[in-house]
Structures are given as structure tokens and as C-alpha cells.
């Protein structure tokens, strides 16, 4: 749901499609079979990790100054690690599709921005696979901070 909010904010700002070496998207895991679909504007970068071949979204990352996502302790689920930083995944929901499992986390970047990582899965196996892929991203040149 927060991803949809971020996309709406992004599109309302009159964004342009961009993919370049100076991108704000993190580095994808080697051999993951994924590529980024990146949308940039001055306030945020929306990164969708798409599976090579069929462009199925595996997870998304929004890098911005602030995030509409506010983790709630009662929604805590799995523990994990992204780029060496211990994180906690939080359960989310999609009102129109309650059978979808949603996970989100928030990482602080050294430059003061935040990275909101989110994913959706239809079953436990898909959830485990997507969590593993998302936990393989790296923020090149960006030291992570506690958040």
C-alpha cells in the first residue's frame, strides 16, 4: 500500500523515466536474474526489481527524504539483514486482496534519506524467495544507519 502511495506521489510530480549509472537504486544481487525499472524525480526514486524475461515485480525500493511507511511494533514479522544492517520485516496488507502477503522495511541512509523496501507474495514459498532477493541488495557508496 505504501508503494502505491509512493508511486502516486511520484507520478503527480511529473516524473520522467530514467535508467543510468548514477542511479539511486541499490545494486541487485549478482546472478539474481533481475533488473531495475527506475523512475526518478527530484524528491524520490522508485525502483522496481523485475524478473528478467517476464518483468514480474519481485520487490520495490523507494529512496526519498521521508517515507509514508511508519513501522508498527505489532506488525513485526521476520528478522533479516540488508547490506550488513539487521532489519525487521513488517506485515502489511492490501485491502482489496487480503490473501496477498505484504512485507515492508525501512533503512536509513547516511545522507539522511531513507529506503523503503516492500514486496508482495501469494504464498509462503514465494514470500521466502522474494525476501531472500530483497535482502541481497546493496547500497553502493551509501553507508546505512540505524532506523
Element spanning 88, H or E: strand 85-92
Contact partners, residue 71, CB within 8 Å, separation at least 6: 88, 90, 104, 105, 106
> Which pLDDT score is estimated for 144?
55
Query: Per-residue pLDDT tens for 16-28?
Result: 333 333 458 999 9
pLDDT tops 60 at residue 11: no
Query: Per-residue pLDDT tens for 40-58?
Result: 999 999 999 999 999 999 9
pLDDT tops 90 at residue 6: no
Cβ(115)–Cβ(61) below 8 Å: yes
> Which pLDDT score is estimated for 70?
93
Query: Per-residue pLDDT tens for 60-80?
Result: 999 999 999 999 999 999 999
pLDDT band per the 50, 70, 90 thresholds, residue 143: low
Give helix then strand counts, H and E, for the chain.
2, 9
Domains (range + CATH), the chain: 2-145 (3.40.1000)
Query: Per-residue pLDDT tens for 99-138?
Result: 999 999 999 998 899 999 999 999 999 999 999 999 999 9
> Which pLDDT score is estimated for 141?
64
Amino acid at each position: 500500500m505504501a508503494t502505491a502511495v509512493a508511486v502516486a506521489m511520484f507520478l503527480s510530480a511529473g516524473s520522467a523515466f530514467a535508467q543510468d549509472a548514477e542511479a539511486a537504486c541499490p545494486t541487485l544481487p549478482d546472478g539474481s536474474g533481475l533488473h531495475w525499472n527506475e523512475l526518478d524525480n527530484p524528491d524520490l526514486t522508485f525502483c522496481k526489481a523485475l524478473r528478467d524475461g517476464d518483468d514480474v515485480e519481485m520487490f520495490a525500493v523507494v529512496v526519498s527524504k521521508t517515507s509514508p511507511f511508519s513501522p508498527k511494533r505489532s506488525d513485526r514479522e521476520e528478522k533479516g539483514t540488508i547490506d550488513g544492517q539487521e532489519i525487521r520485516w513488517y506485515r502489511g496488507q492490501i485491502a482489496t486482496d487480503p490473501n496477498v502477503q505484504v512485507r515492508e522495511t525501512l533503512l536509513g541512509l547516511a545522507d539522511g534519506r531513507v529506503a523503503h523496501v516492500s514486496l508482495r507474495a501469494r504464498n509462503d514459498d514465494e514470500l521466502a524467495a522474494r525476501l531472500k532477493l530483497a535482502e541481497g541488495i546493496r547500497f553502493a557508496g551509501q553507508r546505512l544507519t540505524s532506523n
